[in-house]
Amino acid sequence: MAPTEPSPDWTAEQAITHLQSLASAHNVEGMGRYGIETSNALGVSNAVLRPLARTLKRNHQRAIDLWASGIREARLLALFSEEPKKVTAEQARAMAPEFNSWEIVDHAADLFCDAGLVDELIPEFAADERQFVRRTAFAMMAWGAVHLKKRPDADVIAWLPLIEDHATDNRNFVKKAVNWALRQIGKRSMGCHSPALELAEKLAASDDKTARWIGRDAVKELTAEKTLARLASKGKKRQA
Confidence band for 217, pLDDT divided at 50, 70 and 90: very high
What is residue 33's predicted lDDT score, i.e. its pLDDT? 87
Question: Of 39, 168, 150, nearest to 100 (Cα)?
Answer: 39
- pLDDT tier, 35 (very low <50, low <70, confident <90, very high otherwise): confident
Predicted pLDDT at 240: 52
Q: Which residues contact 199 (CB under 8 A, 6 or more apart)?
A: 160, 163, 164, 182, 215
**Please, which pLDDT band fits residue 149 given cuts at 50, 70 and 90?**
very high
47 contacts: CB under 8 Å, gap ≥ 6? none
Q: How many CB atoms lie within 10 A of CB 2?
A: 17
Q: Interior CA angle at 97 toward 113 and 31, to 5°?
A: 80
Q: How confident is the model at residue 234 (pLDDT cuts 50, 70, 90)?
A: confident
pTM confidence score: 0.94
Specify the pLDDT at position 4.
73
CA-to-CA distance for 69 and 57, rounded, in angstroms?
Answer: 19
Report the pLDDT value the prediction gives residue 239, as an integer from 0 to 100: 61
Percentage of residues in the chain having pLDDT higher than 70: 97
**Which pLDDT does position 204 carry in this prediction?**
98
Q: Which residues contact 54 (CB under 8 A, 6 or more apart)?
A: none
Residue 93 φ then ψ, to 5°:
-65, -35
Distance linking the first and last C-alpha atoms of the chain:
56
Burial status of residue 207 (CB atoms within 10 A of its CB: 0-12, 13-18, 19 or more) = exposed
pLDDT in tens, 169-213: 999 999 999 999 999 999 999 999 999 999 999 999 999 999 999
Rounded Cα distance, 41 and 104, in Å: 12
- How would you label 45-66 residue by residue, b for 16+ Cβ within 10 Å and e otherwise? eeeebeebbeebebbbebbbbb
Residue 54 has pLDDT above 70, yes or no: yes
CA dihedral 239, 234, 143, 156 (to 10 degrees): -50
Distance CA 149, CA 152 (A): 8
For residues 110 and 103, the answer to whether their CB atoms sit within 8 Å is no
